[in-house]
Structure 1
């Protein structure tokens, strides 16, 4: 059975989720979860139902390469993922500019400002995952 890879774009309000195709070539946005909700249960269902082997977590590094409060928040949530899923490979991935790229993609796709707000996290997770998948092929 083919193993899939999931990416998480963890914010303080929403968590964008993307998943690879079975061959690990393409990323597709699949969900936006409430960061204050029971997102670990949502992740458990995804991991179980879709045979996930790896979770790629976007780490918000500042332009100067340092970590700020948002990176510390992501690292704390990632630790919760490690504890809940000790058998999964967890990869931290530099997510600089992914939200900017995601917004640009949505604007070019003529998505209204109102609809963009709910979609940008999912698209950002897709950008993170596609970058990771592309790096595996290099």
Structure 2
């Protein structure tokens, strides 16, 4: 079962994809957001092309575990995604996923300009890999 992981932001959506066995997450792309309809259409196209059966969306939580306004926006996006794609969509706690992605890129000595280009899809990998690891245990 192939699973897609999403790191939903205001300007971009980082996209990761699992291998067919659901063991590892790999970065796919960063989608520059335009409109909700176009974003959903592109995600639907990718899901069909990649034979995705489930989507995991990173849900931003505050450090104390509560949900803020950003989490509400992501939940609304999740609901729209479910309606349009007809696939199961789950959420995954994404606290510190972008920070983990940035630290990985810094450790790899990736330039600042390159980090900016790939941090969102690497954050999607962190989200999806956390979900996959939890499903195996």
TM-score (norm 2): 0.94
Question: Structure 1 regions of 5+ residues with no counterpart?
Answer: none
For 1:29 and 1:59, the matched residues in 2 are separated by 18
Which deviates the most, 17-26 or 33-42? Answer: 33-42
Residue equivalent to 1:26:
24
Cross-structure match for 2:47: 47
Distance 1:76 1:119 in 2: 25
Deviations 1:39-62 (A, max 9, x none): 212211111111111100000000
- 2:94 maps to 95
In 2, the alpha carbon distance for the partners of 1:83 and 1:89 equals: 10
The corresponding residue for 1:13 is 11
Does the CA contact (< 8 Å) of 1:5 and 1:55 recur in 2?
yes
CA RMSD of the aligned region, Å?
1.0
Deviates more, 1:73-82 or 1:30-39: 30-39
Task: Report Cα offsets for 1:69-105 as digits up to 9, x if no partner.
Answer: 211111111111011022x111110000101100001
Does the CA-based 8 Å contact 1:26-1:133 persist in structure 2? Answer: yes
Matching residue of 1:35: 33
* Contact 1:55–1:90 (Cα < 8 Å) also in 2: yes
The question of whether the paired residues in 2 share the 8 Å contact of 1:10 and 1:35 is answered with no
SS of the equivalent of 1:39 reads helix
Give 1:122 deviation, angstroms.
Answer: 0.3
